[in-house]
Amino acid sequence: MKIIGIDYGKKRIGIAISDEDTNFAFPKKVLENNSDVINEIKNIIETEGVSKIVLGESKDFDMKDNPIMKDIKIFKEKLFLKKACPIYN
């Protein structure tokens, strides 16, 4: 089983893929955050045989959401609607 790690940013989104045993994650690529990024991520998921998504959160020192969390939640919903695979935070 492979896991994809997603580090969301307003301009770019970092992608990492785990090994089959989920012991290590390796950087895969950095995608431009544009209107096609969800489809690009879905293609990576299908090509790499990914079965889970881990989506990073952005919190401050008091564990409160940073302003970008609003965008991360919208991104998560769009990814969920593509039915790529289960998403975990």
The structure's pTM equals 0.88
What pLDDT, on a 0 to 100 scale, did the predictor assign at position 40? 95
**pLDDT grade for 86, boundaries at 50, 70 and 90:** confident
With contact defined as beta carbons under 8 Å apart, do 14 and 6 qualify? yes
Average of per-residue pLDDT across 75-80: 91
38-61 per-position pLDDT tens digit: 999 999 999 999 999 999 999 999
Strand order in the sheet with 87-88: 25-32, 12-18, 2-7, 50-55, 87-88
What are the structural domain ranges in the chain? 2-88
Statement: residue 12 has pLDDT above 80 = yes
Q: Choose which CATH entry (3.20.190.10, 3.20.20.80, 3.30.420.140, 2.30.110.10) describes domain 2-88.
A: 3.30.420.140
Give the helix/strand (H/E) hosting 6: strand 2-7
Measured distance CA(36)–CA(45) in Å, rounded: 15
Statement: residue 69 has pLDDT above 90 = yes
Which amino acid, one-letter code, is at 63?
M
